[in-house]
Structure 1
Amino acid sequence: MKKLILSLALVGIATTLAFGQKKVVKSAEKNMKRGALEEAYTEIQSALQDPETGGLSDTYLLKGKIETMMFEGDSSNTMQTLDYGQSAKESFFKTFEMEGMDSTTKVSKDLFKEVVPDMPENFQGQGIYRLKNASFNKAIDRYEDDDMEMAFEFFALAADLDPKDTSIVFNAGYTGNMVGESQRAKKYFTSLLDIEEYNKLNAYYFLIQIASAEDNNPEEAYRLVSQARDIYPDDKGLAEFEIQLLLQLDKMDEAMTSIESALKNDPENTAILLRYGYLKEKSGDIDGALAEYKKTVAVDSDFFEGNYYAGALYLEKARNIITEVNNLSDEEWEEKSPIMVKEADDLYAEALPYFTRASNLKPDNTDIMEILYQIHTRLKNEAKIEEYDKKLSELLGPNWLER
């Protein structure tokens, strides 16, 4: 009988303790509702230490709600603010895990209850979507204040909470890439590729840029370009990326095929014409390359690369002739040299307008000024020789020729 009484007493004590902890949870909820968040937070943390209430998903849900309100209430929007949000996220994810990842349970329905504008407070969700909205608002606040590092962190938190919100996920990737968090940005852009109805073109552009520049991985960049072109075969930017990467990977035959296909759809694309010229130049077809470079300038007279490369090929052709002249035998000199020198000078003259335009486009480029000085010297244009000597002396010093 004594043992029975003792057992009943122990049960009573356990029940009292459990009931006491449940009272603590109720008190935490009450304090949360009246805005006493510090008291509520202390109480809910105490409840989590108890084996019974600490093992209930409701307890973690309430903890997340309190942390969300603390997150909302901190207008400093610093890393400390973010800590509240991250802790709330972990509490909510723990809640869902304890519910067996079943979105149909009562607790999960509360966890994922929507936040609907203009609805009374008691009808609003206080779980994941409230935290997401608060984080999004803080991201916008930081973005508008040009604090891109914190804007990224808050966008990232919102994206983690609702990975189906493509606008927020893209903003997380965009701001992450902007502040140098390329690997984290890559995660968000990559997740967008799995959303069937989403227009993924810009996500692909960023992923290609990250793979090519930050990761220095042209093979991965080319894989992404190929994948993107299967979805967006008519996109001109992707065509240019593909050609650039094929050249970088030294896949010349594939690059030539890609260029010729691209030019059928976009015959006046200066970037592609330039690469076509480069391929022809690399294959030894100098005249063919020059023709493509000149086409770029015909399309856009202010296309710097077209002007520069066309001028450079004219110079190369002229210098090759001068080399041949220097290698003539004494018997050939008198007969051939005047004709060949005249041909070389004509090529120097052909190069002149291209380099002049290139110099106008990049007026501080002293390398082009030196080329123009050499051409005018070759053509004996005294006024221009003096003009470029003066410019170069001012920029590089009076002894620039001795460098």
Structure 2
Amino acid sequence: MRDAASTSDEKTVVIGAGQSGFSFCARLRELGYLGDITLIGDEHHAPYQRPPLSKAYLLGDISLDRLLLRPSEFYPDQRIELKTDMRATGIEPDNKTVTFGNGTRLSYDKLILATGSTPRTLPPGLSGGLDGIYYMRSIADADAIAPEFRSGRCGLVVGGGYIGLEAAAVAARRGVKTVLIEAAERILQRVACSQTSDYFRDLHRAHGVDIRENVGLEALHGKNGSVSSATLSDGTLLDIDFVIAGIGILPNADLAAAAGLDCENGITVDATCTTSDPDILAIGDCACFPRNGVQLRLESVGNAIDQGQLAASTVMGSDEPYRAKPWFWSDQYDTKLQIAGLSTGFDSIIVRQGKEASCSHWYFAGDDLLAVDAMNDPRAYMVAKRLIEAGKSPPAHAVSDINLDLKDLLKA
């Protein structure tokens, strides 16, 4: 790592004030960077946590100030210039300048793209420009949805991924009559095994959510400019008061692509988070990085934090490669799901029943442990996470032995 004093006259600009942008700035100062750091966000708020938006914040269990990653004084104390309500409109790599919608132009020595992602939206022809259709990505989104969550209301959730399921859980807890539709054969089909789908289908139905799989949305209808009913692909007509669409996200790569950077499924970076321009890095949801010989994106808080910190080391002269340690979580009702690893390519599942309502699903490809879904089973999660990060795979028969203390798997 180079002498931090050599960076005293440099300017680092970070576009995107989410988890990854914040983590980069904080880590860069920790590493002794002496130059200017400017952190720019297009929202009104200082950097905040996004995962609680569809859970505790929407339920009213935590306030806005508890969402913030740091109090306001953190930024001047760390000599991080935080600019909010600013949207970048262009990058000029040849003269190292970023332009913004308000006319501001900023020069940089290093530019960090932490532009995140945007929810996929329903087709315009389907939504018809009606009010009462919501997406979940920001504080503004959660604040807009919250008034809809009243007892006696009828809500339609489109999409059976984790965002849709979390929104359905909050709606049901608020007394909303909730229907969730999933166009695929089962909920969580893209991200989890059928056993995990079964677990969460049963959980939601036990709380009164009407889950309909292999059913899509054909049309939305309105009265007085607001959604009032929905036609489903099986011909069902539902009377509803609002819609929440959780149909995936898209990486925000347009700014990078317009600047001539390599982009495919996000902004293409190498193992040090550097783009095709050596003075521009990309981190978080928008970055597509190499792992095990393929390029992929990870949409998670853990990835955002780790890439932000790695990119800070890169700016300080390190060539250490990024080694992703995937982990995720989801809170639904009184169930905490913790996921370690990536399950892509699995060919068998070991179901381990824990105490009371806890259980875990272990994904194997041959003899290799790939990932674990742990439901209210933090011990299974922690053991699996350590095994996966160490590259160790326990015998499947040992995992299925409920009389075996899971910690013994770490001794092998």
Give the structure with the larger helix fraction. Answer: 1
Tell me: higher relative CO, structure 1 or 2? Use CA pairs within 8 A at least 6 residues apart.
Answer: 2
TM bucket normalised to smaller: under 0.3
Determine which structure has more spread, i.e. the larger CA radius of gyration: 1
Give the TM-score normalised by the residue count of structure 1: 0.25
Give the TM-score normalised by the residue count of structure 2: 0.25
